[in-house]
Amino acid sequence: MTKQQANWSPYDNSGGSCVAIAGADYCVIAADTRMSTGYNILTREYSKICKLADKCVMASSGFQADVKALQKQLAARHLIYQHQHNKQMSCPAMAQLLSNTLYYKRFFPYYSFNVLGGLDNEGKGCVFTYDAVGSYEKVGYSSQGSGSTLITPFLDNQLKSPSPLLLPAQDAVTPLGEAEAIDLIKTVFASASERDIYTGDKIEIVVVNADGIRREYMELRKD
Amino acid sequence: MNFMASKQPENSLLGPESDSQRTLYPYVTGTSVVALKYKDGILMAADMGGSYGSTLRYKNVERMKAIGKHSLLGASGEISDFQEILRYLDELILYDNMWDDGNSLGPKEVHNYLTRVMYNRRNKFNPLWNSLVLGGIKNGQKYLGTVSMIGVNFEDNHVATGFGNHLARPILRQEWHENLSFEDGVRLLEKCMRVLLYRDRSAINKLQIAKITEEGMTISQPYSLKTYWEFSAFENPTQGAVGSW
């Protein structure tokens, strides 16, 4: 008698797209608010964005239960850090923690595709992009999730990122102003919703700058 | 040719990989649960059927239960796993009461607890085969959420499990609005349950509607919905395709 195979999967794709863009003194992190399973929409108003620290915000798409567990883990670890060091974690520190947390489950991964955005210790915008098992990179902008294949080429075109092979290393942080970056985000999501069935309903846009964190919303196609 | 029955079941020879203790598939199952927020709290509906595959084995299964003072839990999927969850929640509520501090677990907290339990079991590859709906109201704040067997959870103004997602949610998206009256809420739920009765093979025409408000939880006596079968397509099913059956 052959070994019984599981007829259920521990993973499911809840869909959705995330984007983050770093500027000279700000960082914009955005994600749509649709949560799906298969061809069904479960809810139109689910936030994929989580504030991890004062100047550090994460957006994650993929399998919602894993994303939630990951967010909780990081929030708990941040609390411990605050107790031990009497200060908030910086964005680069949180970036390393996220990578380690993901790799910890290398052999039963968090099905979570993350972009981490915020301000570094000098107040400059920074974005870190991840795969599901923790390999990460500091970049000027990034997109993850179901619409990333549609969004990334457009961002490449508009944000003219310098080649990482250049010496001396050139900053990938965009010279665009905050308002222009937000406008670009809105355009990019509107386009992605046209062709990606998992992206739509509403965008949640979080802006991190010297004044703190603020939130904006924009309606998207509901189909 | 092996004529002797093997003394050891194959699974245990595999040692730690023994699957005999893990859920592989559900046996006795309940079908959809539908719930919505209305003016005074939450309304939830579920039929009373417990199916054993394609057999309708049990016709008096209460798939909705009150949890503590503020919450209402409805479940679809494996009935025995639902009973196990009720045992977990009994213990949770007991410990909460034993503090005797005037505080009590609200629906948000119970939903969070259930999410962690379901996710944890999924991590161990031994899931509780249920889709749960958790609704309630505490200090005027209404709450309605759901958790699946792999830990996917969210809250919304209306939720449904199983077939309810396909058939009831679209109706609710069209017709739900803030501050529904009790009568309107019940009418809307009955509309959803009727569609499910017509189109879900495992649905039965014996349902209960539960309501939870600040005053507490009440659950209706079982009753059945009026159905209409005199559609010409039902009376003359082969009219458009002569020679078929």
Q: Provide the pLDDT for residue B143.
A: 98
Contact A14, B152 (CB under 8 A): yes
Contact B151 A43 (CB under 8 A): no
Structural tokens at position B114: 């259930």
pLDDT tens digits for range B158-217: 999 999 999 999 999 999 999 999 999 999 999 999 999 999 999 999 999 999 999 999
User: Cα separation of B87 and A82, whole Å?
Assistant: 37
Which residues of chain A are within 8 Å of residue B19 when distances are taken between CB atoms? 3-4
User: Cα separation of B121 and B23, whole Å?
Assistant: 10
ipTM of this complex > 0.90? Answer: yes
Would an 8 Å CB–CB cutoff place B131 in contact with chain A?
no
> What's the pTM value of the predicted model, to 2 decimals?
0.92
Contact B152 A63 (CB under 8 A): yes
Contact B116, B92 (CB under 8 A): no
- Give me the percent of chain A exceeding a pLDDT of 70: 100
Strand duo A112-119 + A49-53: pairing? unpaired
Contact B152, B124 (CB under 8 A): no
Q: Which residues 122-181 of chain A have a CB within 8 Å of chain B?
A: none
Q: Which amino acid is at A183?
A: D
Contact A115, A17 (CB under 8 A): no
Count CB pairs under 8 A between chains A and B. 54
Number of H helices, E strands in chain A: 4, 12
Catalytic residue among B23, B29, B146, B161: B23
Contact A6 B25 (CB under 8 A): no
pLDDT < 70 regions, chain A:
none
* Residue pointed to by tokens 């003072």: B69
User: Cα separation of B122 and B129, whole Å?
Assistant: 10
Structural tokens at position B66: 């009150």
Binning chain A into helix, strand and coil, the percentages to the nearest 5 are 30, 35, 40
Contact A210, A55 (CB under 8 A): no
Which residues of chain B are within 8 Å of residue A34 when distances are taken between CB atoms? none
Strand duo B71-78 + B64-67: pairing? antiparallel
pLDDT tens digits for range B62-77: 999 999 999 999 999 9
Closest residue to A10, CB basis, from B115, B150, B169: B150
Largest alpha-carbon pair distance within chain A? 66
Would an 8 Å CB–CB cutoff place A2 in contact with chain B?
no
User: Cα separation of A95 and A97, whole Å?
Assistant: 5
pLDDT tens digits for range B7-44: 444 444 444 556 667 888 999 999 999 999 999 999 99
B238: confidence class by pLDDT, cuts 50, 70, 90:
confident
Contact A65 B119 (CB under 8 A): yes
Q: How far is CA B105 from CA B69, B72, B108, B111, in A?
A: 8, 12, 8, 10
Contact A13, A32 (CB under 8 A): no
User: Cα separation of A189 and B159, whole Å?
Assistant: 27
Q: Provide the pLDDT for residue B19.
A: 62
CA distance B97 to chain A (A): 27
Structural tokens at position B165: 């997602």
Contact A53, A89 (CB under 8 A): yes
* Residue pointed to by tokens 């017509």: B198
Q: CA angle, B152 as apex, B146 and B155 as ends, to 5°? A: 35
Contact B101, B54 (CB under 8 A): no
Radius of gyration of chain B (CA): 21
Q: Provide the pLDDT for residue B8.
A: 46
Residues shown for chain A: 223
User: Cα separation of B72 and B42, whole Å?
Assistant: 9
- Other CB atoms within 10 A of residue B210 CB: 24
Contact A181, A21 (CB under 8 A): yes
Contact A3 B152 (CB under 8 A): no
